[in-house]
A and B are shown apart, each in its own frame.
Chain A
Amino acid sequence: MRLFENADYTLIPNRRIGYIISGILLTLSIASLLVRGLSLGIDFRGGMEFVVGNTQDVSTVELRSALTGPLGGQPEVKRYGDTGVLIRASAAGDINEVQQRILSTMKQEFPEAEPRIEKTNIVGPRFAEDLKQGAIYAVFGALAVIFLYILVRFEWRYSMGAVAALIHDVTITLGIFSLLAGVVPFSLQIDQSIIAAFLTIVGYSLNDTVVVFDRVREYVNLLKTENFPDVVNRSINATLSRTVVTSVTTLIVVTILFLFGGEVLRGFSFALIIGVIIGTYSSVFVASPTIVELDRRLDTATT
């Protein structure tokens, strides 16, 4: 089977379409990030999370109102998997006491249920702050390392292109997380595993971009007479088959993770699905056009 063999699409000349699509997506994402914001998970916000199993018959709405008094504030109550509920409370108070209050409230309100604590996640405020800092360092550290590596291996224009694509990808993925939070039936809170997913997206998107750039570098030396945009266009076409095949295999596995990986990995694999799609798109429509634009600016500047 062969897909995109001898592909000859006019991608670079039509890059404006890409700019429009990216522009719309970026505007939407940034707007949503500003208006709706991101909901931070327990890792970065601190708090207590209890998953209480054996509660399939308990209504989350009733449970929430029952727990509001004993826990104070506004506890979040959600379904977790098939048989559990997830209860989220602020980090104040003694853990055992909070757990005891949850269990006794449940026993009182739902005498037929036999609740069992299946999972806890407790993060103190200071610890959450440290985790947040670590995540920020990791993301910026990753961007810096990539910029430097591409700088060493290619030229600064390519570095700019790669980093532009990465920022584009992460912004849009974050935007989609912000837009869809509460709409989809699973948690899209930003926690450590989502940061891990983001860095993986960064790695993946870069992977795609580097393959195209590698080809550009090769063709620039090979086809000295052609102008730069054509060379880039040709490079994209030559690697299109590989780009698509790798995206397909990666999409297959992340979709499987999304479907079968269980509740814990749902947000993580959702981020990866979006990231793989956007990452593939951006290496063609963002990273490559960026180096073309930079090349043109440079040319007009020197002449």
Chain B
Amino acid sequence: MQGNGFRIALTVFFVGLCGYYLYPSVQNMYVSYQMGQMEEAERVEYQENNRQRLERIRENSLNLGLDLQGGMHVTLEVQVASLLDQLARNKDESFNNILRTARQQAQEADVTVLDAFLQEFEAQNPEGRLSRYFRSESDNITRRSDNSAVEEYLQAQVDDAVQRAMEIVRNRVDRYGVTEPSIQAKGDQRIAVELPGVEDPSRVRNLLESASQLTFHLTGDPQQLQGAMQRIIEYYEPSAEDSAQIAAADTAAGEAAGEEMPQPADTSDAQMAEADTGETEDGTAIATDEQEGEQGTSLTGPGEDASQAGPQNPLLAAMQPMPRQQTPIAGRVFASDTSTVRELLSRPEVQDLLPSGVQLMWGANPVVTTEDGREAFNLFAVRAEPEMTGDVVTDASVQFRQQTNAPMVSITMNSTGARQWARITGANVGEPVTIVLDGIVYSYANIQERIPGGRTQIEGLESRQEASDIVTVLKSGALPAPVNIVEERTVGPTLGEESVRAGFISVVVGLLLVVLFMIMYYRTAGVVADIALLLNVILILGILAGFNATLTLPGIAGIVLTIGMAVDANVLIYDRVREEQATGKTLRAAIDAGYEQSLSAILDANITTFFMGVILYSFGVGPVQGFAVTLMAGILSSLFTAIIVTRLIFDYMVEERSMEVSYG
């Protein structure tokens, strides 16, 4: 066994490493089994108590592909052609022709719409200037800009649109409430969205494809709102006769009970004022917003009172009301409780209690983040009827106030918009106005004065980030980057379960038959090869878990295939050992020679197959990549087990135990 120290260390190291990476997956299986045994209420409580631990386990355990757990994979493509159409001004027949040709070319050949457009423009107007159609003040593109500057500007606009589309998709997906969605840019204009466990694909399609709606809304009267919230809370106040009915909802909402409610953030709310351009003399007249004052000091949880009084009010358990006179904020809710609150507030009787014409809308960004990473959102009371729509916005940008360097958002509107805006702001000075995208409140600011020119500034923002988020939202109203579904794969949960079962049966039966065959054919050596084979399966899973790869059905097929092919290296070695024995060598010498002589064939054969895996991985998508990954992992692990591990076992058997190893 001299010289085997390194091999032993290597084996222990890799097996240990795989064990380390697979441990969370085993834990996950155990925990889900345990939770499956629990009662509903017990499970909810268990999940609540072990939230962080469960999340950590789930994050670190082996990912199952959408084809196994059920879910939806969608590839979206940003419609660059309609973006160009929106960006252009002074459009004429020639422009429309060029755009149509470009769109067609991009459909047929591997060229982007923008490139096709630029080429076509060049071909039709060799001397023409792109600035004829495209101009932008904020990006410094004027009539005199040369074509390369305009091209750069257009490319930036396309990239921007993709970013914006991703942002919108992310927000919509977040609201949909899927666990662990994945949203990734893919190439220049495509976005891949993965949504595990989606029940209703048509809803998701609408959600992803619908054009975004940017609207400006006034808010509900705070006093009325306060009264209404009081009545709604009373509606849910448990009383003797209906406590049973509420108890059901209570368990769902109960998770939030007794814990610290979201603390108010120290936000200095935004104000809206006319742009401080040189033209207006009174540009500096932006009053600070005193109305806000100290925020929500009385935030001792009503949840506490309720918990002492037997059955809890399910609404109060999940939502922190904001008992302030002057704001249209109905309450504040942890992200984990939003679905409960949504359900509680969506009942028709509850909706009737709200002031007429007022709708509750969620804020886009968390107002508070607690220490353990939980986020809380505002629930705004907004007038359901929008005052105006976002298509009047022609431009929006982040700017900085000169003296203080404070970030602000500057909005430009077209003349129709400016007229409407002047009327709205004039009639509602001192009132808050909200910027709403797809029913989500992104910005909330008080009107400081009548704004006649359409040029508006939002000030008092927290950070540059907040400002640029608002700009993104405003631009998606001005330039909605429409997306189309170009690929979709949905697998229902039942079909996924069937696949898991089919894969599992295949692995087990395949393993069993190959194991039996090897023992029959190679006797003792066959047993050693089988040990290596089992180790192989563990190592493959370990490699997948370690690299955070996803196990798909083709991936399982790859494992099954590897089971059949992994023995190949052992077969090569064993046959060589038999040959060497036939020439009269001793067992010891035959083993040495067998391993040595077959090494080059093993390496050559496996390296070429590994190349196939690499090629497959780089061209394939989704499930096929899963196959490629397991194929590659299988080759690495079978090389390792065949060359290192089986050798170790034979050395031990022959040298330490002086056994007669039969190669059949």
B528 CB → nearest A CB, Å: 15
Binds A, one of B146-154, B176-184, B488-496: B488-496
Restricting to A240-288, which residues have a CB under 8 Å from any CB of B? 241-242, 245-246, 248-254, 256-257, 260-262, 264-265, 268-269, 272
- In the complex, whether B521 has a CB less than 8 A from a CB of chain A is yes
Binds B, one of A59-67, A179-187, A206-214, A295-303: A206-214
| Inter-subunit contact B575/A242 (CB<8 Å) | yes
Of residues B67, B490, B619, which shows the largest number of chain A Cβ atoms within 10 Å of its Cβ? B619
How far, in angstroms, from A249 to B570 measured CA to CA in the complex? Answer: 12
- In the complex, whether A238 has a CB less than 8 A from a CB of chain B is yes
How far, in angstroms, from A82 to B318 measured CA to CA in the complex? Answer: 45
- In the complex, whether A223 has a CB less than 8 A from a CB of chain B is no
How far, in angstroms, from A269 to B597 measured CA to CA in the complex? Answer: 33
- In the complex, whether A2 has a CB less than 8 A from a CB of chain B is yes
| Inter-subunit contact A210/B601 (CB<8 Å) | yes
A106 CB → nearest B CB, Å: 15
Known: A120-B488, A238-B579, A261-B503. A250 touches B561 (CB 8 A): yes
| Inter-subunit contact A211/B561 (CB<8 Å) | no
Known: A126-B486, A248-B517, A249-B517. A256 touches B554 (CB 8 A): no
A1 CB → nearest B CB, Å: 5
Which residue of chain B is the closest to A50 with respect to CB atoms? Answer: B490
Known: A124-B486, A253-B510, A264-B553. A1 touches B604 (CB 8 A): no
Interface of B is mostly: helix
- In the complex, whether B564 has a CB less than 8 A from a CB of chain A is yes
| Inter-subunit contact A196/B572 (CB<8 Å) | no
| Inter-subunit contact B608/A245 (CB<8 Å) | no
- In the complex, whether A35 has a CB less than 8 A from a CB of chain B is no
A254 contacts across to B, CB distance below 8 A? 560-561, 564
A203 contacts across to B, CB distance below 8 A? 608-609, 611-613, 631
| Inter-subunit contact A120/B201 (CB<8 Å) | yes
A137 contacts across to B, CB distance below 8 A? 619
| Inter-subunit contact B517/A252 (CB<8 Å) | yes
Mask for B567-581, Cβ within 8 A of A = 1, else 0? Answer: 110011001001100
How far, in angstroms, from A199 to B568 measured CA to CA in the complex? Answer: 18
B663 CB → nearest A CB, Å: 10
Mask for B604-647, Cβ within 8 A of A = 1, else 0? Answer: 11111101110110111101100110010000000000000000
Q: How many residues of B contact A (CB 8 A)?
A: 76
| Inter-subunit contact A269/B488 (CB<8 Å) | no
How far, in angstroms, from A126 to B486 measured CA to CA in the complex? Answer: 8
Pick from A204, A241, A260: contact of B609, CB below 8 A. A204
Tally of contacts, chain A with chain B, CB under 8 A = 220
Of residues A81, A130, A133, which shows the largest number of chain B Cβ atoms within 10 Å of its Cβ? A130
- In the complex, whether A224 has a CB less than 8 A from a CB of chain B is no
A153 contacts across to B, CB distance below 8 A? 604
A257 CB → nearest B CB, Å: 5
| Inter-subunit contact B572/A122 (CB<8 Å) | no
- In the complex, whether B240 has a CB less than 8 A from a CB of chain A is no
Mask for B194-223, Cβ within 8 A of A = 1, else 0? Answer: 000000011001100000000000000000
Pick from B491, B506, B560, B600: contact of A119, CB below 8 A. B491
How far, in angstroms, from A134 to B571 measured CA to CA in the complex? Answer: 35
A197 CB → nearest B CB, Å: 9
Known: A96-B202, A193-B554, A264-B499. A118 touches B601 (CB 8 A): no
Restricting to B60-85, which residues have a CB under 8 Å from any CB of A? 67, 75, 77
A272 contacts across to B, CB distance below 8 A? 561
Binds B, one of A10-18, A24-32, A141-149: A141-149
B606 contacts across to A, CB distance below 8 A? 207
Pick from B107, B509, B631: contact of A200, CB below 8 A. B631
| Inter-subunit contact B567/A2 (CB<8 Å) | no
- In the complex, whether B106 has a CB less than 8 A from a CB of chain A is yes
Pick from B77, B498, B579, B601: contact of A211, CB below 8 A. B601
How far, in angstroms, from A210 to B601 measured CA to CA in the complex? Answer: 7
| Inter-subunit contact A250/B503 (CB<8 Å) | no
- In the complex, whether B664 has a CB less than 8 A from a CB of chain A is yes
Which residue of chain A is the closest to B609 with respect to CB atoms? Answer: A203
Restricting to B535-589, which residues have a CB under 8 Å from any CB of A? 553-554, 557, 560-561, 563-565, 567-568, 571-572, 575, 578-579, 582
Could you name 29 residue pairs across A and B whose Cβ atoms are closer than 8 Å? A1-B520, A1-B664, A5-B578, A118-B491, A119-B492, A126-B106, A126-B486, A127-B77, A133-B110, A142-B611, A145-B611, A149-B608, A149-B611, A150-B608, A192-B621, A203-B608, A203-B612, A204-B609, A214-B601, A218-B597, A238-B579, A242-B575, A249-B518, A252-B564, A256-B509, A257-B510, A260-B505, A261-B553, A265-B557
5 A-B pairs closest in CB distance: A253-B564, A262-B502, A203-B612, A203-B609, A124-B486
Interface residues of A (CB under 8 A from B): 1-2, 5-6, 51, 53, 81, 95-96, 99-100, 116-127, 129-131, 133-135, 137-138, 141-142, 145-146, 149-150, 153, 192-193, 195-196, 199-200, 202-204, 206-207, 210-211, 214-215, 218, 238-239, 241-242, 245-246, 248-254, 256-257, 260-262, 264-265, 268-269, 272
Q: A53-B495, A81-B498, A120-B201 are in contact. List 9 more A-B contacts (CB 8 A).
A: A116-B492, A150-B608, A203-B612, A207-B606, A207-B608, A254-B560, A256-B510, A261-B506, A268-B554
